[in-house]
A and B are shown apart, each in its own frame.
Chain A
Amino acid sequence: MTEKTKTMSITGKQIGAFLQEKGLIIAFIFMCAVFSLLSPVFFTVSNFLNIALQSSALIIMGIGMSLTIASGGIDLTVGGVIALTGIIMGIMLSAGFNLVISILAGLLVGVVAGVINGIIISKFKVTPFIATLATYSMIRAIALIISDGRPIYGFPVGFRFLGSGKLLFNLPTAFFIALACIIIFNFIIEHTRIGRNALAIGGNKEAARLSGINIVTNTVVFYALAALLYSIAGIIYTARLNAAEPIAAMGVELEVIAATVLGGTRMEGGYTKISGTVIGALVLAVLRNGLTLLGVQSYYQQLTIGIVIVLAVLADQIRKK
């Protein structure tokens, strides 16, 4: 008991993070309440299922982003990986490849992209921002080149099930995929060496290096895992639209970063909480959903999201004082 109180008093930052998470939850509930009052459609089962479907991909991408940001980096390749994953799968499915093999090929896109990012960043010591900006451009270009700029339509039912299909309790398949990602990656970040090394490298790279942590290998693993998650999100995207578009998910990385920041991940690296990122993604998804229901133009939605991010960061700074 005493040990518990002692910990509480000393790790003020953890409490801070906890409060922020709570603060975010409170803001989230408040937001839901307001939308419920203003729109008769918001507080309905079918709308919640809709939100679950809309937020799944964002949550999955957010987890990947959280890992790279916590390790002291950032990853701008999200949208490119999503597009290329879709195109590769689309081409393979159209060519008559088996569903499982096509999906594995799609996932491989993410892993390869992540490994390349990791090597450029750690081996050639290019700033993550620049490195992933460059690879993003290349990945997007490859998607456009091999698809000749045209979307690929018409996928087997089994594949579409991954996007818009329903599993238990009428919940979308994508929701369960996101749930699995949350559980697995929460474990990885909290309880395995991969997560520990990410926080150590993000907190103080030199300390990590001197303690014998292999920066190159670890960085490659972080970016590969992150991009693997983008590919998973890419599969959901493609399945939901029933189309693979080379220009899919333009600018999605900004929304993913926003969800991560809202969730309390430290931009300088060294700290992240998957639960925070999940709530951050939910806040953005509910905000979009609610504003759409209220008939707010998408330009104003964008504006509102910007304001929410600024407010969240301000609240965080005030609390820290």
Chain B
Amino acid sequence: MPRKDNNNLLISMKNITKSYPGVVAVNDVSFDLKHGEIHGLIGANGAGKSTLVKIMYGVEKQDEGEILINGKKADFRNPVDAISMGVSYVPQEVTLAPTLNVAQNIFLNREVVASGVYIKDKYMEREAKKILDGLSLDINVKAQVDSLKVSDKQMVAIANAISRNSEIMIFDEPTAALNENEIVHLFNTITNLAKSGVGIIFISHRLDEIFQLCDRTTIMRDGFSKGTYKKEEINKEAAINIMIGRDLEMKEQDRFISLEKPVLTLENLGVANSFSDANLTLNEGEIFGLFGQVGSGRTELLQMIFGAVKADQGKILIDNNEVKINSPIDAIKHNIGFVTEERKTQGLILLLNIEDNVSLGNWKKVEKIFFIDKTLKSKTAKEFIKNLQIITTSSKQLVNNLSGGNQQKVVLARWLNHSTRILLLDEPTKGIDVGAKEQLYQLFDELSKEGISIIMASSELEEIRRCCHRTAILKDKKIQKIVNLDQISDNEILSLAM
């Protein structure tokens, strides 16, 4: 039932302030949400979006300010309180119970029970199937969640929130793991929910989708709200300027690439049942793109080159000499570095500091006889902090406390410390905000000028265009075509990739 009464606000947050030791995460922010509204929330990493949303969901408690839900004062002690007042939250990092199945996750903590104790799993499976069918999703309700693809997991999390029939739904970066089709599905679902009167808060780094979807958008910077704008009042460029507080140079840089000096050549490289017949040549100082949707085989190809997955067909040539790469150790010996997609779980030891993370696996560089030279270790890290402009209070800062962009720079620093010549990047700007992304791109440009050759896998065409001259287009675990980016339109690329 559409509700006409727009004066009655679903959420009204007044002068909310929340501090953590050393930082004011949310500073005197007021925010409201109407019935049937899709309200975008944008800002650079660390701007305070997530904290604001956590306060709405009872995960964090504000220091000052008040929250009204449907005009009633809300004093959330924990998520249970928020849920009981009709608030649902789909977090950024998918949080599901991995060993339970899809239906059990959708009904987690809302199990349907008979005689007060017996959980009716069969009934829940049927209901879960209806919900997924309603979202046009083909996911087996009995599948254990950790066997699902990332995008399916995301959809299960969304199905869980939708099935709660909440009046207020918060989506924190819901599209990060989805492909184009799934995004269309999700947007239809969200639009329909809004039409039925549900108020939706939508957080995203992808500004295009924000302005496509949202009725109003609130922009945050450094903990402050920098205003709430109606759809017609703002565009992407203006929003970026407000977000980062300055004009961003988004200009592509022209660069001469010597196409005569192949550094890495793949000939019919493949592995049974995973990736077949990869042929490509990477030249010195080139940034070569691998463009494809989620599941197109980007990661698999990079893993093969790095020896994380052993290729069983074809060969790899470095400087025109055939080499055997059977393990990451072999790859590192040939000066290949791999920046993985999941920097937090595969790239960094979050509870170690920057110095240790930079020298990790490369101790011999900072060793004297048999002990680690702390001064040298510290000096090494400080050089990288300076050269890569890593923002931190000290080289002894725990990596866990750095922002996404700076964490990624620490991963890069580790590989550069290994004298890497060939750098494999898998979604290097995943979950990193616009301003920091551009900084990383500039860094990649500089590295390539210094002669480092880069293969960069990405699902964002804009990013590929920004950084690369040539790209391979991947689909169904195969290279469909290798193209010069200035000779092909976006539509042609997308039609090859989908």
Contact = CB atoms under 8 A, between A and B. Distances in A.
B79 A10 contact: no
A272 to B, nearest CB: 9
B91 interface: yes
Given A7-B140, A208-B108, A210-B89, A200 B118 contact: no
Contacts of A110: none
B83 interface: yes
A14 B144 CA distance: 8
Interface string B72-94: 00000001100100000101000
A209 B79 contact: yes
Contacts of B119: 191-193, 196
Contacts of B142: 7, 10-11
Interface residues of A, number: 30
A266 B101 CA distance: 16
Contact of B109 (A11, A197, A204, A271): A197
Interface in A33-66: none
B8 interface: no
Interface in A218-272: 266, 270-271
Contacts of B160: 211
B111 A203 contact: no
A199 B91 contact: no
A210 B140 contact: no
Contacts of A209: 79
Contacts of A211: 79, 108-109, 160
A210 B111 CA distance: 15
A10 B147 contact: yes
Interface residues of B, number: 31
B80 to A, nearest CB: 5
A13 interface: yes
Most buried by B among A191, A197, A210: A210
Contacts of B121: 191
Contacts of B98: 203-204, 270
Contact of A200 (B80, B100, B146): B100
Given A7-B140, A191-B118, A203 B113 contact: no
A187 B394 CA distance: 54
Nearest to B160: A211
Interface in A94-121: none
A210 B143 contact: no
Nearest to A201: B97
B6 interface: no
Given A10-B147, A196-B119, A212-B109, A207 B101 contact: no
Interface of A: 6-7, 10-14, 191-193, 196-197, 199-204, 206-214, 266, 270-271
30 contacts: A7-B143, A10-B143, A12-B147, A13-B146, A191-B118, A191-B121, A192-B113, A193-B119, A196-B100, A196-B104, A196-B111, A200-B97, A200-B100, A202-B99, A203-B98, A203-B99, A204-B97, A207-B95, A207-B96, A207-B97, A207-B108, A208-B97, A209-B79, A210-B57, A210-B79, A211-B108, A211-B109, A212-B109, A270-B98, A271-B99
Given A208-B109, A210-B57, 4 more contacts: A193-B111, A196-B111, A209-B79, A214-B80
